[in-house]
Amino acid sequence: MSLMHRLNSLPRRRLLQVLGAGAVLAPLGACSENLATGRRQLVLVSDEMLAQLSHQAWLDLQAQTPRVEDERIQQRLGAIGRAIADASGLTNVNWEFVAFESAEVNAFVLPGGKVGFFRGLIDLAASDGEIAAVMGHEIGHVAARHAAERLSQQLAVSVGVRAAQVLLSEEMGEHADEAAAALGLGLMYGVVLPYSRQHELEADRLGVDVMRSAGYAPADAVSFWRRMSADNAAQPLAWLSTHPTNEERLVALEQLAGPVR
């Protein structure tokens, strides 16, 4: 039975007692300092649990999206990935690097070290260094444990909204659901999305550090994102987005690596 199902099944008074005592979240995890980012983060789930959850997603993606058949591309991506992974110092991760046949200009990493690059991004990159910049960014997410932190934040938000709904129902009756939904949106835009943007900038910073350690030029990260900016002019409003704007990202990267002339 899931945590949220257990919470929903508790009597109202007992739920408030449990939440008030902190008995729901405390046994699952705690705030701890992440050495990669230098800040404390709330982690309620283990890396092992996340790896198990991502395993099926990885299998599903490979079943739905064909791999690039050109083995030279697969070998190139794997060589860059292994160089960046070795430089990251993350020795307890079972890394796998796959190029997928899709025109989408994107890449991703799943907990457990499964890294996917779409053909569109590989074709857009002008050099191995630019691919290394993206690879460093993705591996930076793993070093920073961003997936565990995001899932933990969402779990905490869900628990908090459920508790608020119980409290509001005594005061607002039939309007409690609407009030709880508004609270949930406020938490999403005020907490979860800003943290996501912070994660992206942290991954950029860690990516620049690790690509430098692997022997790639950090300036390649700037040139890649300049190319991305020119290719992807339409962006959502920054406060509605899970990612920083291209301009914000470029300013941060130029401070880390120096501007590309």
How many other CB atoms are found less than 10 A from the CB of residue 139? 26
Catalytic site residue from 33, 69, 130, 138: 138
Active site residue 104: no
**Strands 96-100, 114-118: pairing kind:** parallel
Contact (Cβ atoms closer than 8 angstroms) between residue 211 and residue 186: no
φ, ψ at 41 (rounded to 5°): -140, 150
Catalytic residue IDs: 138
